[in-house]
C-alpha cells in the first residue's frame, strides 16, 4: 500500500493519496484545488487515480474534486445522503471499495454535517484496520463542531446527537491500534481543541480526547457546542459552493499584470486591494485603501474573513508571488482576482501622495502612552476562547472576522489601538479599519503576549 498524507499548514488541512502497488489503482481523499502534486506523485509511483472521495461538503476550503476528476478522469464520490449538482458516486454505509489488495470501508458518520463519512483503510481485505480517515468527525484532541451553518436544516443539538452516535457506534469500536488521520489540525476553525499532531490512534483518542471522555451524551453535547471559535464569513459560501458545478482552477495561470492606470480603474469599479506583504513592510508604506493580509501567514483564511466573497480583488505582492497569492485565495473559492499591480514599490516611490504608513507600537510604548491618549478605543480582535484567558482593561472584543460587519459599533474618529495574540491579525484588523475610514489606527507589536509579559497580573 502507498499511503501519503498532504498537510497544508496555512489552512490546517489534510488530504490523502491511497494506492495499491499490486494493481496501480489509487484514490485521493479531500483534495485541495491545486491538484498537480497529487497527479505528479501518483505518476511517480505508477498509480492511476480513479476515484476522488470527499468526506463531506467542506466549509473551510473549496475542495479540488472537480479539478482532480478533470485532470485524471477519476470519478467523484460522496456519502449516499449527499446532494450535489455534478455527477458523483453515492457511497453507502458499510460499502467496501477494493483497489486490489488494499480495501476501503465506508462508514457513515454524520454529526459535523449530515453527509459526513469516515474511511477505514485495510492493507488486505479482512485484515485489521491500518487506519481510518475521519474527515471532520474525529480530530486529534477534538471532534467536529456541529454548529456550522453548512448543516442547514438541522439544529446544533440534533447534529451533536448524531455526532455522539457516530463516534461511539462507528469509530470507537475500531481497534486501539487503528491510526487516526483527520482532515484538519491545530489552527482550523472546525474545532476548538485540535492538536498540532497530524496522526494519532483510536486508543490514544479514547484515552485523551476530552469529548470522548464525556460520561454521557448530555455532557458531550454541552462540551462540543460551547466555546467554539467564530466561523469565518466565507465558510457558508464554501459550504454551498462545494455542492455546485463550477469553473475549474488553472493553478499555472498568473493573474493579469496591471499598470497603475488599470489598477485604479478596477479599484474605482469596486475592487478591493489585498496587500500580501509582511506587516512590517506594509507598515513602512502601502497604497491608501489597501487591506493587509500577509502571505506568510494564514493568508486565505484571513482574507476570506475580511474580504467579501462577491467583490473583485487586485493583489499587491512581492515580485514572483502573485500566482501563489491567486492560488491560495482560490483554495477558498475566491476566484475574482482580476490582476496584480506590477512593481508596487516603484509605483509607491513615484506616487508618494498615494502612500500611507501604518502606526505600530511596542507593548511597552502602548503601556507608557495609553493614559495620555484621550478617548482611546482599544479593540481586542482575538477569538472568545483567547479573550477568556485574559485581555487588556477596557478593551472592546470583536473577533477579526466579525470586524467588517460590526464597524457601526465603533467610533471612526476616536484614536484606536488594535491587538491580537502576536501581531499578525492586528495588522489585518487595523488595515480594515483604515480602509473603512478610521482616521487614527495603531496596532500593538507582539500583541497580547507581549503586553502580558510586561504586566505581572493582567486584567481578565
Where along the chain do its domains lie?
2-241, 257-354, 359-454
The upper half-sphere exposure of residue 420, i.e. CA atoms within 13 Å in the direction of its Cβ, equals 17
CATH architecture of 257-354: 3-Layer(aba) Sandwich (3.40)
User: In the predicted model, is pLDDT for residue 150 greater than 50?
Assistant: no
According to the model, what pLDDT value does residue 9 have? 92
pLDDT, tens digit, 9 for 90 and up, residues 231-273? 888 998 999 999 999 999 999 999 999 999 999 999 999 999 9
Rounded Cα–Cα distance for residues 136 and 211 (Å):
14
* pLDDT classification of 459: cutoffs 50, 70, 90: very low
Mean pLDDT (whole number) for 418-423? 95
pLDDT, tens digit, 9 for 90 and up, residues 70-100? 999 999 999 999 999 999 999 999 999 999 9
Rounded Cα–Cα distance for residues 248 and 455 (Å):
51
Between CA 187 and CA 179, with CA 137 as vertex, the angle to 5 degrees is 85
According to the model, what pLDDT value does residue 233 have? 83
88 and 117 Cβ atoms separated by less than 8 Å: no
According to the model, what pLDDT value does residue 456 have? 63
Mean pLDDT (whole number) for 210-219? 96
* pLDDT classification of 361: cutoffs 50, 70, 90: very high
Grid coordinates given for 254: 498568473
Partnered with residue 408 across adjacent β-strands are none
Q: Give domain 359-454's CATH number out of 3.30.420.40, 3.40.718.10, 3.40.250.10, 3.90.550.10.
A: 3.40.250.10
Tell me, yes or no, if the two domains 2-241 and 359-454 fold the same way.
no
CATH 3.60.15.10 assigned to 2-241: yes
384 and 189 Cβ atoms separated by less than 8 Å: no
Mean pLDDT (whole number) for 442-446? 96
Amino acid at each position: 500500500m502507498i499511503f501519503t498524507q498532504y498537510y497544508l499548514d496555512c489552512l490546517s488541512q489534510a488530504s490523502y493519496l491511497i494506492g495499491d502497488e499490486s494493481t496501480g489503482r489509487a484514490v485521493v481523499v479531500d483534495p485541495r484545488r491545486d491538484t498537480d502534486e497529487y497527479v505528479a506523485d501518483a505518476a511517480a509511483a505508477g498509480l492511476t487515480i480513479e476515484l476522488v472521495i470527499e468526506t463531506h461538503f467542506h466549509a473551510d476550503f473549496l475542495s479540488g474534486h472537480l479539478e482532480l476528476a478533470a485532470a485524471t478522469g477519476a470519478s467523484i464520490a460522496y456519502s449516499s445522503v449527499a446532494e450535489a449538482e455534478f455527477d458523483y458516486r453515492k457511497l453507502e454505509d458499510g460499502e467496501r471499495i477494493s483497489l486490489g489488495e488494499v480495501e476501503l470501508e465506508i462508514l457513515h458518520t454524520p454529526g459535523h454535517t449530515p453527509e459526513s463519512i469516515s474511511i477505514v483503510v485495510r492493507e488486505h481485505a479482512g485484515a485489521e484496520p491500518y487506519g481510518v480517515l475521519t474527515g471532520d468527525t474525529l480530530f486529534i484532541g477534538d471532534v467536529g463542531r456541529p454548529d456550522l451553518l453548512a448543516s442547514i436544516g438541522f439544529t446544533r443539538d440534533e447534529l451533536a446527537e448524531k455526532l455522539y452516535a457516530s463516534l461511539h457506534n462507528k469509530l470507537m469500536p475500531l481497534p486501539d491500534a487503528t491510526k487516526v488521520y483527520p482532515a484538519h489540525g491545530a489552527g482550523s476553525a472546525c474545532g476548538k481543541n485540535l492538536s498540532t499532531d497530524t496522526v494519532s490512534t483510536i486508543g490514544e483518542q479514547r484515552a485523551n480526547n476530552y469529548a470522548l471522555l464525556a460520561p454521557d451524551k448530555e455532557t458531550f453535547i454541552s462540551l462540543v457546542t460551547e466555546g467554539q471559535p467564530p466561523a469565518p464569513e466565507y465558510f457558508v459560501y464554501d459550504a454551498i459552493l462545494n455542492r455546485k458545478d463550477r469553473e475549474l482552477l488553472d493553478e499555472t495561470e498568473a493573474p493579469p499584470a496591471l499598470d497603475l492606470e488599470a489598477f485604479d480603474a478596477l479599484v474605482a469599479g469596486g475592487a478591493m486591494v489585498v496587500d500580501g506583504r509582511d506587516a512590517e513592510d506594509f507598515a513602512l508604506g502601502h497604497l491608501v485603501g489597501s487591506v493587509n493580509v500577509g502571505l506568510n501567514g494564514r493568508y486565505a483564511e484571513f482574507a476570506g474573513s475580511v474580504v467579501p466573497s462577491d467583490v473583485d480583488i487586485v493583489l499587491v505582492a512581492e515580485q514572483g508571488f502573485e500566482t501563489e497569492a491567486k492560488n491560495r485565495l482560490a483554495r477558498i473559492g475566491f476566484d475574482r482576482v482580476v490582476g496584480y499591480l506590477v512593481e508596487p514599490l516603484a509605483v509607491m516611490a513615484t506616487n508618494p501622495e498615494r502612500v500611507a504608513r501604518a502606526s505600530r507600537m511596542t507593548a511597552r510604548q502602548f503601556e507608557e502612552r495609553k493614559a495620555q491618549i484621550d478617548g482611546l478605543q482599544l479593540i481586542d480582535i482575538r477569538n472568545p476562547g483567547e479573550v477568556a484567558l485574559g485581555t487588556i482593561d477596557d478593551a472592546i472584543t470583536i473577533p477579526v472576522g466579525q470586524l467588517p460587519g460590526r464597524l457601526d459599533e465603533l467610533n471612526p474618529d476616536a484614536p484606536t489601538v488594535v491587538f491580537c495574540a502576536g501581531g499578525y491579525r492586528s495588522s489585518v484588523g487595523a488595515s480594515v479599519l483604515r480602509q473603512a475610514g478610521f482616521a487614527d489606527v495603531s496596532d500593538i507589536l507582539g500583541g497580547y503576549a507581549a503586553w502580558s509579559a510586561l504586566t505581572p497580573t493582567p486584567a481578565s
